[in-house]
Structures are given as C-alpha cells and as structure tokens.
Amino acid sequence: MGIKIITDSTSDISIKEAAQMNITLVPLKVIFGDKEYKEGVEITIEGFYEKLVKAERLPTTSQPSPDDFLKYFEEGKAAGDSIIVLVIAAKLSGTYQSAMIAKEMADYDDIHIIDSDTTTCALRILVEQAVKLRDEGLKAEDIVTSLMDLKDRIVLYAMVDTLEFLHKGGRLSKSSAILGTLLKFKPLITVKEGVVGVVGKERGVNKAIGRLSNIIDEQGGYDSSYPVYLGYTAQDEQCKLLKDKLKEKYGLKNMTMYPVGCVVGTHAGPGACMVTYVKK
C-alpha cells in the first residue's frame, strides 16, 4: 500500500522526469488533420512546433479517454494504494471529466481527483509538491488538503504573440481576441480559476516583458519556499529576457525555464512566454 500520483502531459513533465519522480503521466492528444499524436509519447515538443509553423490549419487537441485513466486506477486498487490525480483545469479540457468517469468505473473510493484550475508550469508546481509530501510520509488526505490550499495561491501570467490561437481554439471570446489585432501590441493573459483572461496589453516585447516582471509586486509578493518557473513556446529568447529581469528585480535564483508542450502550445501559439509562482 502506498500513494500513487498521476498527472497529465500538460504539466510539461517529461517521461524521464516522471520516472525519476515515481509518478504516472497520462498524455493528451494533438491532432494535425487526420493524424493523432499522444503528447510527449508520439510527438516531441520540437517536432510539434516544426509542424505547427508549417501547418495550413490549426491543429486540434483532445483529452485522454476514461480508459486511459482506468488502467492505472485498477492497478492502484489492486495494490491497495491511495491515488492522487492532478489534471489541467476542467474549464480548459475534458481531462478532469474523463478521470471522474474512470473513478466511477473503477468503483474505488481512495481516488482523489483534483482540478488544478491551471496548466503547464503551474500544474508542475502542484505535482512536485504532491511528490514532496508523499515522500515525507504524509497521508493522502493530508496531501490533498495541502494541495487544495496551494492551488489557490499559484499565479500564472503570460505574454503571447497573438490571441489568434486562443480564439481559434475556443479558449477566448472573439471580443477579447480583438485586443490582439492592435498593431505592435503584445497581449498579456492569465489563467485564473481555470479561465484564460486578457489582463492588458503593452506596445512591443520589451514593455510587455517589463510588465510581466512587475507581476510579483502587483500580486503582493511571492513565497520563496516554492520555485518560480518560466515557460516558453518554440523560442526561448524572450523567456531569457524575462528571467534576467526577474533576477535583477527580485534577486530570484530558484528559477527554471521549461518548454511548453503541444496541447498548451496549440492554444498559446509560438512566441509566448510565461511566469508562474506561489504568492504569499
């Protein structure tokens, strides 16, 4: 008997990292035309962005099926494990619903499914905390309680090159997307309570990066016991600039940059960069 931790591929945790953390990854899918790929399994991040740039039509994405979760739930049930599942925001994907259906099919009470209300590096923070608490010997119920508190303190802001991808992917309304058509303006977005929202615009990359670097002050500071993560889609130059500004402004040292994967990248589009952290 133990604690089994499961997350989905939008956490941008690689298969190798998952093995090192002793967790299970359930992949979402990205679809180009009639060809479907399991994120991180059948297509790499680099391969995805190469295809995205060349694609005539925007790819679509798909959540895992209940069966994709069920096999792991049944393994955990047979072993008498507690199972903690952390997934992309339910308002962004049907992944949470698939996991809930699988729980009913498994007929096992010791499955705890958490709607992270977020995705990408912010989801990674939650997963890493779950692993830490599991390895410290906490019970599943106590881990879940801690994670439910933590998820409400995680902040994610991003600069995107255009809002076109978010609008076409159904994650942003047409009226909100109009903001991104303004010449030379870079939209700033956030994911809050599972919803993508536009929070402003800045003229040019440098001003947008500067605004992102002020987010921590605007949100009331950060909890230094947790990492600050940066994410980027396709190119990392702007993300490096943001990292330098955060280091200069706040003296941050515990920062890591991660490439954003296929599913989130489909909706954010190339040229996005983001910062996520835990507020005080």
CATH no. for 3-28+63-151: 3.40.50.10440
For residue 177, pLDDT over 50 is answered with: no
Give dist(CA 126, CA 87) in Å, integer: 10
Tell me what the mean pLDDT of segment 21-47 comes to. Answer: 95
Which of 94-103, 120-129, 163-172 shows the lowest per-residue confidence on average (mean pLDDT)? 163-172
CA distances, 58 to each of 120, 124, 179, 215 (Å): 20, 26, 20, 31
- Strand, helix or coil for residue 190: strand
Q: How far apart (Å, rounded) are the C-alpha atoms in residues 143 and 157?
A: 26
User: What kind of architecture, by CATH, is found in domain 154-278?
Assistant: 2-Layer Sandwich (3.30)
Indicate where the chain has its CATH 3.30.1180.10 domain(s): 154-278
Q: Is 8 helix (H, G, I), strand (E, B) or coil?
A: strand
Contact (CB, 8 A) for 172 and 196 = yes
Beta bridge partners of 30: 37, 61
Residue 156 pLDDT = 96
Q: With DSSP H G I counted as helix, E B as strand and the rest as coil, what are the percentages for the chain, rounded to 5?
A: 45, 25, 30
Could you give the residue range(s) of every CATH 3.40.50.10440 domain in the chain? Answer: 3-28+63-151
Measured CA angle at 159 (ends 165, 18), to 5 deg: 80
Look at the pTM and tell me if it is higher than 0.85: yes
Cα 253 to Cα 127, 236, 243, 257, 260, distances in angstroms: 21, 18, 10, 12, 21
pLDDT score of 270: 84
In this predicted structure, which of 102-106, 162-166, 263-267 has the lowest mean pLDDT? 162-166
